[in-house]
Amino acid sequence: MISLTELKEEVLQQAQLAKIASKQVGTATAEQKNRALLAMAEKLWARREAIFAANHLDVEEARATGQSESRIDRLILHEKRLKDMMEGLRQVSVLPDPVGEVVESFTRADGLRIERVRVPIGVIAMVYESRPNVTADAAGLALKTGNAVILRGGKEALRTNRELVAALREGLAGSGLSAEAIQFINRTERDSVDILIQARGLVDLAIPRGGAGLIGRVVQHAQVPVIETGVGNCHVFVDAKADLGMATEVILNAKTQRPSVCNAMETLLVHEAVGPAWMRQIVEQLQKRGVEIRGCEQTRSWLEQGAEGGNATILPAGEEDWADEFLDLVLAIKVVKTLDEAIEHIDRYGTKHSEAIVTDDVQAAETFLRRVDAAAVYHNASTRFTDGFEYGFGAEIGISTQKLHARGPMGLRELTSYKYIGRGTGQVRS
């Protein structure tokens, strides 16, 4: 056990090293950074034996302590997943460098020329849970954008992350950049997170990535700026004038194509004018794909009317079902009387992630798109599109559900800040 004082000293020293290294990577050329990204990928492969051995120990411990299979699955690192990580780093290396981009410029009447230029944020603290791929992703994206990164992963993946970081740092150092630009908090004490996210003057941004519990704790204790990511209680609303064939396609995609991700649908809202016949069809289709349904009273009554056995027995949906992000093959269904009621339901239970309406009524669609307050709103399309790769950003560090700085998918651009650069010939203010 380490004392709180020692822990604080250790973490702050790492933050200090990151701060110093951020000056170097912040002014590195695109070529230097891209070379380093390729070297980092190579070192992951070169050190794969040590990485897999460490991962094996992590997985064994997770099994021994009775972790769930889905958690263990997220933790496991095999050759394919390591290659995906390496491929991710290589993909980032070929993206354009956002640092130094002149976003806008103007010349004052007195001749002073002012440019707004993209610059790195500085030091980014990533606080995340068990998936080890975040380690390589975050290190790569931070480096590409000229930032230093401090990685604080989940305790289940400690050994794996330690080996991954050793490889990444070796790659960085081998290409002439400071290995200190990637810091790893080699501690499992929860206090290490608090120290990190309260290190004003050293840490410029904290990004929590994980479940609602982790994100809530970080937001509550942070004294440095935070970008909240990822909790998605997403809805699809089938309007009175929906093309019901299209609605079926969108719903099946939003719910079942990959139910464990944040942009999957969790609650289906159906206008009452749609009626019981289609409701029975869509529920049947969902159930065929293994989806468990929890319905409002109207939904259940409609299903009972047409029941010849099975699907009348769906569970009633309660408050927690409207609020929960299931991340699983579970769907809550609510019948609403009006577009307004749908929007109000989303307003109350949504997490400002991704929301969709299916309708042929353009006015209803525009009302929905304007009034629903979320990072991404869709008309006649699946919520599953909210993703940095689908948006063509070429990379993604997370999906922001807050309104400051970055909203929705965060790519390279969202990991930068800007500064104003004024070039004059002696101008003074009158």
- For its own copies, the binding residues (CB under 8 A) are 23, 27, 106, 108, 112, 114, 119, 121-122, 200, 204-205, 219-220, 223, 225-227, 243, 246, 249-250, 252-254, 257, 358, 365, 369-371, 373-382, 384-386, 390-392, 402-405, 407-408, 417-429
Q: Give the pairing of strands 354-358 and 234-238.
A: parallel
**DSSP reduced 3-state for 25:** helix
Q: Which C-beta is closer to its own copies: that of 105 or that of 301?
A: 105
Least distance from its own copies to the Cβ atom of residue 101, Å: 14
Write out the H or E segment, with its range, that includes residue 89. helix 79-93
Q: Which is nearer to its own copies, 132 or 388 (CB)?
A: 388
As measured in angstroms, the least distance from the Cβ of 260 to its own copies is 14
CB 350 within 8 A of CB 375: no
C-beta closer to its own copies: residue 246 or 307: 246
* Amino acid of residue 122: G
Rank residues 6 and 191 by Cβ distance to its own copies and give the closer one: 191
* Interatomic CA distance for residues 16 and 38, integer angstroms: 26
Q: Minimum Å distance from CB 4 to its own copies?
A: 19
Least distance CB 243 / its own copies (angstroms): 7
Helices 48-64 and 79-93: angle between axes, nearest 10 degrees: 120
* Amino acid at site 232: G
**SS3 of 21, please?**
helix
Which tokens go with 396? 């993604």
* Identity of the residue, 26 or 295, whose beta carbon is nearer to its own copies in the bound complex: 26
Strand 182-184: give its sheet, edge to edge. 182-184, 148-152, 123-128, 205-209
Amino acid at 110: D
Residue whose structure tokens are 């065929």: 288
259 CA to centre of own chain? 15
Q: CB under 8 Å, gap of 24 or more: what pairs does 359-368 form?
A: 359/238, 359/239, 359/240, 359/241, 359/242, 360/241, 360/242, 360/243, 361/239, 361/240, 361/241, 364/239, 364/240, 364/241, 364/339, 365/239, 367/339, 367/343, 368/237, 368/239, 368/339, 368/342, 368/343
Three-class DSSP category at 141: helix
Cβ 396 to its own copies shortest distance, Å: 13
* DSSP three-state, residue 400: strand
Q: How far is the CB of 140 from its own copies (least distance, A)?
A: 21
CB 399 within 8 A of CB 261: no
Number of Cβ within a 10 Å radius of residue 202: 22
Nearer to its own copies, 182 or 376 (CB): 376
Tell the smallest beta-carbon distance from residue 316 to its own copies (Å): 27
| Backbone torsions φ then ψ of 225, nearest 5 degrees | -60, 145
Q: Which is nearer to its own copies, 1 or 428 (CB)?
A: 428
CA nearest neighbour of 207 among 287, 300, 138: 138
> Looking up tokens 């997770």, which residue turns up?
62
Cite the DSSP H helix spans in 152-243.
158-174, 191-197, 212-221
CA–CA separation, 394 and 375 (whole Å): 19
| 401 contacts: CB under 8 Å, gap ≥ 6 | 228, 229, 230, 231, 232, 351, 352, 353, 375, 407
Which of residues 76 and 244 has its CB atom nearest to its own copies in the complex? Answer: 244
CB of 200 to its own copies, least distance (A): 7
Q: Which is nearer to its own copies, 42 or 228 (CB)?
A: 228
Smallest gap from Cβ 282 to its own copies, in A, equals 14
- Min separation Cβ 359 and its own copies, Å: 11
Nearer to its own copies, 66 or 426 (CB): 426
Of the pair 54, 127, the CB lying nearest its own copies is at 127
The CB-of-406 to its own copies minimum distance in angstroms stands at 8
